[in-house]
Amino acid sequence: MLALNDFSFEFAGRYLYRNARWHIKPNEKIGLVGLNGTGKSTLLRLISGEYELREGMMSKANNLKIGFLNQDLLSVEYKESVRDVVLSGREDLVQLDLDIQRLLKEIETDYDERRLNQLGEAQELFGQLGGYDWQAQGEKILEGLGFPTEWLGKPLMNLSGGWRMRAILGRLLLMAPDLLLLDEPTNHLDLPTIQWLENYLNEYQGTYVIVSHDPLFLDRTVNRVVEVAHQQLFHYKGNFTSYLEEKEERDALMQRQFENQQDFIKQQMKFIQRFRAKASKAAAVQSRVKQLDKIERIELKDKENRDFDIKFNIRVKPGKVVAELRNLHKSYGDLRILQGASGQILRGDKIALIGANGKGKSTLLRMVVGTEPCEGEVELGWNVEASFFAQHQLEALNLKNDLINEIGTVSADYNDKELRTVLGCFLFTGDEVFKKVKVLSGGEKSRLALAKTLITQSNFLLLDEPTNHLDMFSASVLAESLNDYAGSLLFVSHDRTFISRVANKIWWIENGIIKEYPGTYDEYNEWMSTRVVEEPSLRPEVKAEVVKTSPEKKEAQGNKGISKNKIQEWERKMERLEGDIKSIDQTLNDITVQMQDEKISSDAEALLSLVEVHRVKQLERDALQIELDSIMELWVDAQ
Ligand SMILES: Nc1ncnc2c1ncn2[C@@H]1O[C@H](COP(=O)(O)OP(=O)(O)OP(=O)(O)O)[C@@H](O)[C@H]1O
Ligand SMILES: [Mg+2]
């Protein structure tokens, strides 16, 4: 369907991928994964044609229709109504519908046979293309995405970022292109909608690529995984869980190969150092030196070369009661959000506000910080300093600034060195602090906005979906630091892992009032008994044993007077062993080459069996090498 061959791509000399390869075949359901900033969105932009590929080849099937959901909401500006935006996913039908309306109008005033025929043809085609089902289908998608019926006529640009994203997703789903590219589609969705999307994609007849940091979502929607890491693309067959298992296997194999090679190198070096000065061993030493030169060194790539360490300090300690909410009322038109809601936030509370979209969670956060007018009373406690992180903070970043200027806008209390330190904690190091906000990836923008929240040193943080856009690693570091945070926390999140790691209280809105469960998310779930906790199955680990002593060595021990025959026998044996080792090396090489073959690397079973053969061969080689070394030592001594 689409082939990218031997392609490289760079921004200002910094390569995201080098000589990478990707073939997308019909009906593949692909998860595109990788840490923040590795180049996932850029890759989708290359495929969709938004960026031009300058190094390498891309070939596409003729007339390949590509639909792309951009991660960056800033680029979305639609004046049309929600319904029209979604329906415009079928441009062919929009055009036919216009033609039909025009012809009908013309026939009304100016009847003629030709027009009537045209109308008949247009209507027939309209029917064939599914036109009579089109609007209903569009509305069904909108309903699934959670749009209230009364919103369908509203101009899309009046809606919040999250809802805009949903409508555009709806448009793409209706379009059903040959290749659907979705960049972090679940970022703005609540749980029921995520589940709806999972089901929708399961029924979806087509090829798609989804970028996501959500393991559960990926597990339910993809049958292949492509990972962007170390400037390469790694291809895996299976869902996200099997990708993680295989990746672990690969890393372990690499680690074993690395260790074996290091052992081998050490032995050779020892030998060389020991016998370097002996003229009688010159040839043997020389051959070792040559061998060492020839070896292709295995390099272990840093797994997570990221020292990401954030600490949320507080400037002053607040009173015991951080916020008191009394008798809050709020509605948007007919939509009643709060009706007499009350609640109390105490020092040390880490409260997760959970529940479906549209229940008013973000509204409640804004009410607490005082940016949303409401009826009732919100009283912040003694010495409380609140700081707010929200999705719109990302949109409020000044795209023209570079990072260091942008973070400097928060407070004049910090000098450049301190600002760099804060940025460093959020993984922006070296020259990166001069990057323009405009070019940051989704996750990088989130980290910057979080850094801005952090340097306020407030003792009360209100966070609206803080893990959106963050990769699993960053989300986990954030959870850890919020755990250690000495202040109080009220946060909205749909990220189940994150909530259970951070929250010590759960809030949700029911019938217009705030309900509280005074415990962790897991306890809450148990109490609600709506969730089955899955235990990961433990697999026994196979351990290999390496033969450590050679029979030859035992035989020779204590045998001082060595016959010429024996020495010749050793020499023959050494020669044979060297031959055997060489042939195993060849086999190992072949296996490594095979493993890089696309067919194999994307077939988990084939790959695993190769890994196993490789492991056994490597063990065999190790044993032979040990035998050879010990005979060689005897031989040298005898000489
Ligand atoms: N126009 C540009 N000029 C310079 N650097 C850029 C430009 N666009 C993107 N980058 C950088 O390229 C890297 C990859 O960006 P990209 O948006 O593809 O990452 P991503 O894998 O989608 O990350 P995330 O998971 O955070 O969305 C980032 O470090 C980003 O800052
Ligand atoms: Mg991205």
- The Å distance, Cα 62 to ligand 1 centre, comes to 29
Ligand 1 probe mutation, 11, 54, 75, most atoms within 8 A of CB: 11
The fraction of the chain above a pLDDT of 90, given in percent, is 37
471: amino acid identity, one letter: D
Asked if 13 and 190 touch (Cβ cutoff 8 Å), the reply is no
- Alpha helix segments (H runs only) across 357-515: 361-369, 391-396, 403-408, 416-425, 442-454, 472-484, 496-502
Q: What is the pLDDT of residue 547?
A: 29
Give nearest CA residue, ligand 1 atom 1: 439
- Considering the chain, what is the average pLDDT of its residues? 84
Alpha helix ranges (H) inside 153-221: 161-175, 191-203, 215-221
- Answer yes or no: are the C-beta atoms of 463 and 435 closer than 8 Å: no
Burial string for 542-577 (b: 16+ CB within 10 Å, else e) reads eeeeeeeebebeeebeeeeeeeeebeeebeeebeeb
Q: What are phi and psi of 637, to 5 degrees?
A: -60, -45
Return the ligand number nearest the Cα of 439: 1
pLDDT, tens digit, 9 for 90 and up, residues 279-322: 877 888 888 888 888 877 777 665 545 556 677 788 899 999 99
pLDDT at 535 over 60: no
- Taking CA atoms only, the protein residue closest to ligand 1 atom 31 is 440
Q: Which residues line ligand 1 (CB under 6 A)?
A: 11-12, 16, 34, 36-42, 71, 435, 439-444, 469, 471
For 132-171, how does the pLDDT look when each residue is reduced to its tens digit (9 = 90+)?
999 999 999 999 888 888 889 988 887 766 788 888 889 9
CA 290 distance to own-chain centroid: 44
Of 178, 169, 174, 182, nearest to 222 (Cα)? Answer: 182
- Please identify, by atom number, the ligand 1 atom nearest to the C-alpha of residue 445: 26
With a CB cutoff of 8 Å and minimum separation 6, the contacts of 254 are 298, 300
Mean pLDDT over 195-214 rounds to 91
- pLDDT in the model for residue 301: 62
| Residue ranges with strand state E in 119-198 | 179-183
Ligand nearest to the CA of 39: 1
CA of 449 to the centre of ligand 2 (A): 16
Most confident of 136-140, 393-397, 527-531: 136-140
| pTM tops 0.75, yes or no | no
Could you give the domains of the chain? 2-242 (3.40.50.300), 243-300+542-638 (no CATH), 321-526 (3.40.50.300)
pLDDT tens column, 436-482: 998 998 889 988 988 888 888 899 999 998 998 888 888 888 898 89
Structure confidence at residue 309 (pLDDT): 65
Burial class of residue 105 (count of CB atoms within 10 Å of its CB; 0-12, 13-18, 19+): exposed
> How far apart, in whole angstroms, are the C-alpha atoms of residue 74 and residue 132?
34
Give the dihedral sign, CA 197/203/205/210. Answer: positive
Secondary structure of residue 563 in the 3-state scheme: coil
Span from the CA of 442 to the centroid of ligand 1 (angstroms)? 8
Question: How close is the Cα of 184 to the center of ligand 1, in Å?
Answer: 14
